Chain A
């Protein structure tokens, strides 16, 4: 095993005509890792907060998600209304998250909620989101006890509750938030960044939604 490791690493060093990195060369790469340089600034990721929210909604819709902007009090009602409007079942699988528990689900008598991970025959899931990226209308899901990954993937319809305050400009802003929350060297097991519903272009280069993941994605953007 370690012979294979040395073989590859020594092969690389032989080709690069040097030994193991040392001195200034080593310092340079170490400091680059410690303070990652950012790439060219993307103008549309640099907006004021209100414009970020608008841009997020615009790109999310461009990428085939539907978006509703609501107040916190209206979240449960909007979920029920969305399900009814689309003739979807009122049985939902919900992430066991403190954020979601903060809404008054008891007000929705029709809604039947199972809290836990996703199952193979789930029709609808409700989850929160760690962040939204305005640049591309992308949702960021960090896995953990409060957010099973399977809820992002198995159901036909994924309803996502995203707070306006969690909408950032670009990818780099998300990395910053992840490092802040989990520590620089400790990512959550899975970070899904999700842009619209699942899709495939594998038959005749024509996009069809709902390949393996959700075929429908509804995002509730919650005003503070």
Chain B
């Protein structure tokens, strides 16, 4: 998808003025964090599992080449195929060729953020192949021609009424001409419509939560069962996964699964966790005849060994955005590309360029709530700060900020001058603010006083001045 990350500030304005979005976010902020907290409390070993999950991912990244080759060896041994895609364009070409090799008209797609990353749908549509999103949330936003606003809950920005309107508009031609008002009716209608699409699809395309090197299996975690239908019914199953999804063994998967669902939705376990290994076997009554795994790099190998490497541990649970007050204020679309929230603020500059996405790592208070819930303990604030450092080094930091900072640092490095200037500032601010105790507007502080009063210092001078004068109480 086309990035609008450069327009972050405009996107924020739109988001804050959208009452439907604000309603949805109000619910998200309470619901996800409360459910995660309860799930973590039900499992006494949760924190120890987070440590191990981090260590497993670090071990894998340090030996990534080995585990990818091992994974490939196992897939080939069981009759599957592995395709290596250095870039997004390579992955699109590989997948399109596979679809055309079986004369595919439709592709049943299970939610894949990597497919969003490489803009797969647009590419397939241009070739006359219809991708059908089958995750309910993805299906809704595909009908509305919107990008996902959350990595595990893509339609979380919409209300039930908006979904009802969308279904009425698109399902009327299928004979559903009644506007629905109940959630379960909306789910049932989507189930009915999509069931036929599953049965008709020539190719099933899924992502992968993990690739298990030990067994050559792709592992998928869902609640709806759509991924399982996608990898069972069509004659070809394509798995699209980025290279850092590989993990060594099934035992490692057990650790990661225990933290994934609890961090994501607060469930003890998602409804479906599925391991697929190669194509259908002799004697099987169902399953795909062909099994292909497309391994996408798209810049990730270049992140290894850098100060940003920790982001490659991410298992895409969404906990960081569920707990982020900035995401909670503006939602996912404001971030302007595929990955929103704190993990997106770190990943997007890597994938679309720091010039395009310069706002994202800056739009954070570094409150640290994301890091405190991350199941693989990614130091997200630290990584966002690294992006700010790179921006500063490359002179991408806005001019006004740079100039202000230069002036401030000139003063801050000269204690005598600093003391003199703060004495003056303190005197002026306390003098003119004396009657009210605060300012309703202040020159050069419009960003503050547009929404807030600015407290004036009380009379008497700065702390240092008073202390020097021997006072023991203000």
Q: Is B104 an interface residue (CB 8 A)?
A: no
Interfacial residues of chain B within 128-178, with CB under 8 A of chain A in the complex: 134-137, 140, 153-156, 158-160, 163
Structural contact, A9 and B68, CB atoms closer than 8 A = yes
Which chain B residues numbered 156 to 203 have a C-beta less than 8 Å away from chain A?
A: 156, 158-160, 163, 183-184, 186-188, 190-191, 194-196, 198-199
From the candidates B45, B90, B140, B215, name the one contacting A42 in the complex (CB within 8 A): B45
Judging by beta carbons under 8 Å apart, are A21 and B52 in contact? no
Given A20-B65, A186-B78, A136 contacting B268 (CB threshold 8 A): yes
A141 closest partner in B (C-beta): B274
The complex places the Cα of A144 from the Cα of B286 at a distance, in Å, of 9
Among A16, A118, A193, A195, contact of B286 (Cβ-Cβ < 8 Å): A118
Is B84 positioned at the interface, with any CB of A under 8 Å from its CB?
A: yes
Among candidates B215, B225, B281, residue contacting A212 with C-beta atoms closer than 8 Å: B225
Q: Total A-B pairs in contact (CB under 8 Å)?
A: 280
> B62 at the A/B interface (Cβ < 8 Å)?
yes
Binds A, one of B254-262, B329-337, B354-362, B463-471: B254-262
CB distance from B104 to the nearest CB of A (A): 19
| A40–B256 alpha-carbon span in the complex (Å) | 11
Identity of the chain B residue whose Cβ is nearest the Cβ of A191 in the assembled complex: B275
CB of A43 within 8 A of CB of B45, answer yes
Say yes or no: A190 contacts B287, CB within 8 Å: yes
Taken residue by residue from 190 to 224, chain A's Cβ proximity to chain B (1 for < 8 Å, 0 otherwise) reads as: 11111111111111111010111110000000000
Which residues between 42 and 61 of chain B lie within 8 Å of chain A, taking CB atoms?
43-45, 48-49, 52, 56, 59
Q: CB-CB contacts of A141-184 with B at 8 A, as 1s and 0s? A: 00111001110111000000000000000111001001000000
The reply to whether the CB of A189 lies closer than 8 angstroms to some CB of chain B is: yes
Instruction: Determine if A204 and B271 form an interchain contact, defined as CB atoms under 8 angstroms apart.
Output: no
- In the complex, the answer to whether A36 meets B269 with C-beta atoms within 8 Å is no
Contacts of B214 in A (CB 8 A): 33, 36, 185
Across the two chains, which residue of chain A brings its CB closest to B52? A39
Which chain B residues numbered 206 to 259 have a C-beta less than 8 Å away from chain A? Answer: 213-217, 223-226, 228-229, 231-233, 243, 248-255, 257-258
Over the window 299-338 of chain B, the binary record of Cβ atoms lying under 8 Å from chain A Cβ atoms (1 yes, 0 no) is 0011111100000000000000000000000000000000
- Is B297 an interface residue, CB under 8 A from the partner? yes
Of A16, A185, A195, A212, which contacts B191 at CB under 8 A? A212
Interface string of A15-43 (1 = CB under 8 A from B): 11100110001100100110011111111
Q: Known pairs A143-B284, A153-B228, A189-B276. 5 more at Cβ < 8 A?
A: A20-B65, A39-B52, A187-B78, A195-B267, A213-B229
Among A5, A96, A138, A175, contact of B269 (Cβ-Cβ < 8 Å)? A138
Q: Does A213 contact B287, Cβ atoms closer than 8 Å? A: no
Determine the chain B residues whose CB is within 8 A of the CB of A189 once the complex forms: 276-281, 284, 287
Q: Which positions in A face B, CB cutoff 8 Å?
A: 1, 4-5, 7-9, 11-17, 20-21, 25-26, 29, 32-33, 36-43, 59, 62-63, 96, 116-118, 120, 136-138, 143-145, 148-150, 152-154, 170-172, 175, 178, 185-206, 208, 210-214
Name which residue of chain B comes closest to A187, CB basis. B277
Known contacts: A185-B215, A189-B279, A205-B27. The answer to whether A200 contacts B224 by CB under 8 A is yes
Contact pick for A1, options B27, B84, B191, CB 8 Å: B84
Chain B interface extent, by class: 35 or more
A-B contact pairs, 19 of them (CB 8 A): A7-B297, A8-B295, A15-B302, A29-B63, A32-B249, A33-B249, A36-B214, A40-B45, A40-B48, A40-B52, A175-B251, A186-B78, A188-B277, A193-B273, A200-B136, A211-B190, A211-B223, A212-B134, A212-B225
Measured between alpha carbons, how far is A143 from B438 in the docked complex, in Å? 71
Query: Is B285's CB within 8 Å of the partner chain A?
Result: yes
Q: Which residues of A contact B269 (CB under 8 A)?
A: 63, 136-138, 193, 195
Complex contacts, A11 vs chain B, CB 8 Å: 86, 297, 301-302
Contact residues in A for B254 (Cβ distance below 8 Å): 38-39, 170-172, 175
Give chain A residues whose Cβ lies under 8 Å from the Cβ of B213. 33
A residues within 8 A CB of B281?
A: 143-144, 188-189
Residue in A40, A120, A191, A204 whose beta carbon sits within 8 Å of that of B199 in the complex: A120
* CB–CB A202/B135 < 8 A: yes
Chain A residue, CB-CB nearest to B50:
A40
Give chain A residues whose Cβ lies under 8 Å from the Cβ of B286: 117-118, 148-150
A202 touches B136 (CB 8 A): yes
Cβ 8 A contact of A213, one of B70, B78, B225, B304: B225
Report how far A146 CA is from B80 CA in the complex, Å: 22
- Interface pair A16/B62, CB less than 8 Å apart: yes
Known A11-B297, A17-B305, A144-B281; judge A4-B85 contact (CB<8 A). Answer: yes
Q: Does B66 contact A (CB under 8 A)?
A: yes
Is B283 engaged at the interface, CB distance under 8 Å to the other chain?
Answer: yes
CB distance from B39 to the nearest CB of A (A): 11
**Inside 8 A of B252's CB, which chain A residues have their CB?**
36, 39
Q: Out of A178, A198, A208, which one reaches B184, CB within 8 Å?
A: A208
Partner of A205, one of B28, B190, B273: B28
| Interface: B18 (CB within 8 A) | no
Q: Nearest Cβ in chain A — how far from B356, in angstroms?
A: 23
Q: How far is the CA of A185 from the CA of B27 in the complex (A)?
A: 45
